[in-house]
Amino acid sequence: MAKAPKNAISPTRAEDYPEWYQQVIKASDLAENSPVRGCMVIKPWGYQLWENMQRALDDMFKATGHQNAYFPLFIPMSFLEKEAEHVEGFAKECAVVTHHRLEPDPDGGLRPAGELEEPLIVRPTSETIIGATYAKWVQSYRDLPILINQWANVVRWEMRTRMFLRTAEFLWQEGHTVHATREEAVEETERMIQVYADFAENWMAMPVTIGAKTAGERFPGAVETLSIEAMMQDRKALQAGTSHFLGQNFSKAQEIVFQSESGSREYAWTTSWGVSTRLVGALLMTHSDDDGLVLPPKLAPTQVVILPIYKGEQRAAVMEYIGQLTEQLRGQTYNGAPIRVEVDDRDVRGGEKKWHHVKRGVPIRLEVGPKDIEKDSVFMGRRDQPKSVGMSRAEVVGKIADLLGEVQQNLFDRAAQLRSDNTVTITSEADFRDYFTPKNPDSPEIHGGFAMCHFSDEDSLQDLLKELKVTIRCVPSDNNDTPGTCFSTGKPAEKQAIFAKAY
């Protein structure tokens, strides 16, 4: 076996966190930049991870009564104009289709031709186009609620992009629902942020906090935006999902009107909620280490990889043994499904092969060679622990589901520990400044974390936040009923918020 390098990823997290992130994506084959500005290519390993996320989320959406549908990619420009805050939020970053064909230009190349009467926007989100359809579907209270989700690509023309976290095109799901009452719509908004929190914690092994966004951070056009916020290993916050109570803003802009049971004409109440391929970036930054990607078993495309070790004529015996082992492992279930086992019999040196799977984050590796077979045992390595251990075949087969469960739990516990180690309560502006100021401003070390502060949301506070590049992540929904005074203005304050630097 080749001697292991000290770390598979260079630079390490401590040395240069943003560059470490890019290098993990590269080493783990998740994605790469494309020739199209700001758009990425999601490679098979990254796409399988996204498919596993989709499958789990889709099941949760269906279990809460939603159905999937599909609406147009394009939005007529006039539709965006209808909701004033909404257009302001998205107009600056829209891809605009203005022509519908290409014709030869005099230089032998091509040029756009066939100008459209009305430009079309490539959807940055679909409230307006879906709302226009719902306005036709909704006539009576009997047509409500409408509970629909869409899996789709969307485009937001970001100037500074980073793979998975912020790209011009990304994949997501967007739920869009219509209700007869304010109460039902609020319940739906809360139900779906709970679904996201459940998914983040129980599938991604990523602890999150549910809370409400402050006015300045809401979705354009929303009455209230709920989010789940997670802490990455550089202690920055990442918003991993949002659920918006839209009140009657969009139903008034789009005339989503119904006749109530008593016969009156009323505007409906709408919600929307979404998560995106951003979750892949969140997953990466929550669990990965200086050797590459670390995947929670429930979402890993391959949960167990078997690495045959042999020379020449030993191959037949080793592969036969592995064939039996594979079948036994695939007969076990974890998280309600047969265990996903891969055998890597490529003609690649053993050390290189092992590191290939380490870097890609496979939860459990089993090495099997002639000596192991003599003892009817295997060498088992967990991605979340440094050392490999010998185990009898019977033991590894009997325990494989438990082992995967332990990895899943350990990843969650480690992330929860990091978050609790780096969450502080701050009551003065001086402490706040100190907490969010790196010791080395030229090349900032990993610093800060989540600061829980009572606050009153005024201009002077916003100036301070802008100066320190800190944002209000959310006002947590739970355990947040004790009043206090604003850490910055000293004014009475009802609630605490989480303050953090953020992605």
Nearer CB in complex with its own copies: 89/381: 89
Q: How far is the CB of 93 from its own copies (least distance, A)?
A: 6
Strand partners, 423: 450
The interaxial angle of helices 44-63 and 182-202, nearest 10 deg, is 140
SS3 383: coil
Distance CA 295, CA 21 (A): 15
Nearer CB in complex with Zn ion: 94/130: 94
Q: How far is the CB of 73 from its own copies (least distance, A)?
A: 5
Residues in the chain: 503
**309, 337, 496 from 436: Cα distances, Å:** 50, 44, 17
Q: Which does 424 bind (CB under 5 to 8 A by kind): Zn ion, its own copies, none?
A: none
Decide if residue 109 touches its own copies (CB under 8 A).
yes
Q: What is the DSSP string of 287-344?
A: H-BTTB----TTT-S-SEEEEE---GGGHHHHHHHHHHHHHHHHTSEETTEE--EEE-
Using an 8 Å Cβ cutoff, are 332 and 397 in contact? yes
Q: Could you tell me which stretch among 47-55, 186-194, 266-274, 302-310 binds its own copies (CB under 8 A)?
A: 47-55
Of residues 115-134, those binding its own copies (CB under 8 A): 119-122, 129, 132-133
Of residues 23-42, those binding its own copies (CB under 8 A): 32, 34-36, 39-42
In the list 43, 191, 252, 433, the residue contacting its own copies (rule: CB under 8 A) is 43
Decide if residue 80 touches its own copies (CB under 8 A).
yes
Q: How far is the CB of 305 from its own copies (least distance, A)?
A: 16
Distance of CA 260 to the CA centre of its chain: 39
Task: Using CB under 8 A, count the residues that bind its own copies.
Answer: 63
* Chain contacts with Zn ion (rule: CB under 5 A): 114
**31, 47, 346, 456, 494 from 280: Cα distances, Å:** 10, 10, 27, 34, 35
Q: Could you tell me which stretch among 65-73, 394-402, 464-472, 476-484 binds its own copies (CB under 8 A)?
A: 65-73
In the list 15, 81, 320, 376, the residue contacting its own copies (rule: CB under 8 A) is 81
What would the x/- binding string for its own copies be over residues 149 to 188, using CB under 8 A?
A: ---xx-x-x-----------x-x-----------------
Using an 8 Å Cβ cutoff, are 118 and 76 in contact? yes
Using an 8 Å Cβ cutoff, are 451 and 424 in contact? yes
Q: How far is the CB of 87 from Zn ion (least distance, A)?
A: 17
Nearer CB in complex with its own copies: 38/247: 38
Q: Which does 172 bind (CB under 5 to 8 A by kind): Zn ion, its own copies, none?
A: none
Using an 8 Å Cβ cutoff, are 104 and 223 in contact? no
Decide if residue 2 touches its own copies (CB under 8 A).
no
Nearer CB in complex with Zn ion: 3/101: 101
Distance CA 4, CA 158 (A): 40
Nearer CB in complex with its own copies: 98/420: 98
Judge if the upstream peptide bond of residue 11 is cis by omega within 30 degrees of 0. Answer: yes
Q: How far is the CB of 112 from Zn ion (least distance, A)?
A: 11
Distance CA 59, CA 53 (A): 10
**53, 153, 166, 263, 412 from 61: Cα distances, Å:** 12, 18, 25, 32, 23
Decide if residue 337 touches its own copies (CB under 8 A).
no
**Which residues are at the interface with its own copies (CB under 8 A)?**
32, 34-36, 39-44, 46-48, 50-51, 67-81, 87, 91-103, 109-112, 114, 119-122, 129, 132-133, 148, 152-153, 155, 157, 169, 171
